[in-house]
Each structure stands twice: as structure tokens, then as C-alpha cells.
């Protein structure tokens, strides 16, 4: 099978979800660039940064991004259920649960009072960071398992989605490693140059983060043609 068949309603739901996910992700990356308002900021940037620094706005962004992902994953989970792939469906369910827990941790951290970066990290915030670290590792391993399963058992757009959830996290990790190396090991770079490279790498990470969701949308369609069905699937129908 190259694509999962879904209903027209599910297709429209996915279209809205992927659109909102991209929109909220763009807001997040702009938030990353603006940061807290400073004296040298333009009036527009300062206004946006002031709004984005609000805990309520940060929590709303995290919840909305997570919600749009959950909607897309749930449609995909139902497709896995219909195709009788129990363990792949189980991995998808655990990923969804852990993503909700990770978002809850982000929201809780946003409610904590700010502290001086020169001071020791409060115990409560340190626990949240540790939890998020382990949580992301488990999600990464589950995505690896899910991706390998999709690559082995499916073809076409479904296999492409499986490859994306394997390769994109690896590329994101390597991109982070490049920035760490440049920041700590490469001499002679000014802060302006580091900021420029950081912006470029942030854009690369942003694009790599969108690819799996776009591939996920492409793996499901309300209009399935004969080319999207393997001979083996047709013989079993």
C-alpha cells in the first residue's frame, strides 16, 4: 500500500491541521528570534516580543501546536488500526501520550517565576528539564521504531513518511552539533557572525521539523487510485 484511504471529512481535517501547525510553528520561530523586548528593538518588534513573553501566550502556542499534531496523528493511528498493524499503532499511541506530557511540562515551566541565568537553576525547573530530556529520547526511539516499521511494511508516500521521521531528527541533531561546534570550538567568530549562523541553522531546523508533518499529510488521501494499491493488497481485498 502506498497511501492510506481516508474519508473526505478526515482529509479536510488534515488540511486544516497541517495549515494551523505550520502557522503556529512560524509564530514559535518568530518568538525565538524576537525574545524579550530590549531598548534597541523597533516598536513593532518590541510590541511582538512583549506579547510573546507572556506566559499565557507561550502556553497557548504550545497547546495549539501539540493539538494540531495530535489531530494528524490520530487520523494516521486509525489508518494503522484499519490495516491491522497493532505494534505500529501502539507506538503511535505512546508517542501521542508522551507528546502531551512534554507539552504539559513546557506549560508548567512557563508558569514558573523567572530566575537570574547566573544563578543556579531552581530544583523544580531542573526536574522539568530532566523529564523533557528523557521524554524526548523515548519519543525519538519510538519514532525510529515506527519509521522502520513503515519503511519495511509499506511503499510510496507511507514509506516516505517513515523515512522522514527517521532521518529528520538525525539531521536536526547534527545541525545542533554544528552550531555547538561553531560556538565553542571555532575561534575568531564575532557574535554577529554567530548570530547569523544561528539564524540560518534555526531556519534549517524549522524546515526539517515541518517535513515529517507534510509527509504525514501526503501519506493519506481521500482519493486512492489503483497505483496506490500494491498487487498484494489487491489480492487480499
State how far the Cα of 100 lies from the Cα of 108, in Å rounded to an integer: 12
pTM for the full predicted model: 0.83
Grid cell of 59 as nine digits: 502556553
| pLDDT score at 196 | 81
Is 200 a residue whose pLDDT tops 80? yes
Grid cell of 53 as nine digits: 513573553
Grid cell of 116 as nine digits: 537570574
Task: Output the CA–CA distances (angstroms, integers) from residue 164 to 58, 169, 215, in the order listed.
Answer: 28, 8, 7
- Domains of the chain (ranges; CATH) run 7-223 (1.20.1070)
If one counts every other C-beta atom within 10 angstroms of the C-beta of residue 92, the result is 22
Is 63 a residue whose pLDDT tops 50? yes
More confident residue, 221 or 42: 221
What pLDDT, in 10s, does the model give residues 177-189?
A: 888 887 777 766 7
Task: Output the CA–CA distances (angstroms, integers) from residue 152 to 1, 80, 145, 162, in the order listed.
Answer: 11, 14, 11, 9
What pLDDT, in 10s, does the model give residues 107-117?
A: 888 887 766 55
What pLDDT, in 10s, does the model give residues 132-187?
A: 999 999 999 999 999 999 999 999 999 999 999 999 999 999 998 888 887 777 76
Answer yes or no: are the C-beta atoms of 88 and 146 closer than 8 Å: yes
| pLDDT score at 116 | 55
* 204 CB burial (10 A radius; 0-12, 13-18, 19+): middle
More confident residue, 209 or 50: 209
Amino acid at each position: 500500500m502506498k497511501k492510506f484511504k481516508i474519508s473526505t471529512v478526515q482529509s479536510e481535517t488534515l488540511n486544516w491541521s497541517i495549515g494551523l501547525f505550520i502557522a503556529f510553528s512560524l509564530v514559535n520561530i518568530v518568538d525565538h528570534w524576537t525574545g524579550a523586548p530590549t531598548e534597541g528593538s523597533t516598536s513593532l518588534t518590541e510590541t511582538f516580543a512583549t506579547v510573546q513573553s507572556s506566559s499565557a501566550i507561550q502556553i497557548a502556542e504550545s497547546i495549539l501546536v501539540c493539538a494540531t499534531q495530535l489531530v494528524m496523528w490520530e487520523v494516521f493511528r486509525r489508518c494503522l488500526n484499519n490495516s491491522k498493524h497493532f505494534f505500529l499503532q501502539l507506538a503511535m499511541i505512546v508517542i501521542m501520550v508522551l507528546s502531551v506530557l512534554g507539552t504539559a511540562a513546557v506549560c508548567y515551566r512557563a508558569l514558573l517565576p523567572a530566575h537570574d541565568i547566573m544563578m543556579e537553576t531552581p530544583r523544580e525547573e531542573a526536574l522539568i528539564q530532566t523529564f523533557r530530556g528523557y521524554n524526548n529520547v523515548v519519543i525519538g526511539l519510538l519514532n525510529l521504531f515506527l519509521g522502520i516499521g513503515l519503511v519495511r511494511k509499506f511503499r510510496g508516500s507511507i514509506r516516505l513518511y517513515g523515512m522522514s521521521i527517521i532521518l529528520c531528527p538525525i539531521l536536526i541533531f547534527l545541525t545542533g552539533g554544528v552550531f555547538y561546534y561553531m560556538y565553542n570550538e571555532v575561534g575568531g567568530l564575532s557574535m554577529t557572525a554567530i548570530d547569523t549562523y544561528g539564524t540560518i541553522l534555526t531556519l534549517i531546523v524549522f524546515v526539517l521539523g515541518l517535513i515529517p508533518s507534510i509527509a504525514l499529510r501526503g501519506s493519506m488521501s481521500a482519493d486512492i487510485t489503483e497505483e496506490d494499491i500494491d498487487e498484494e493488497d489487491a489480492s487480499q481485498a
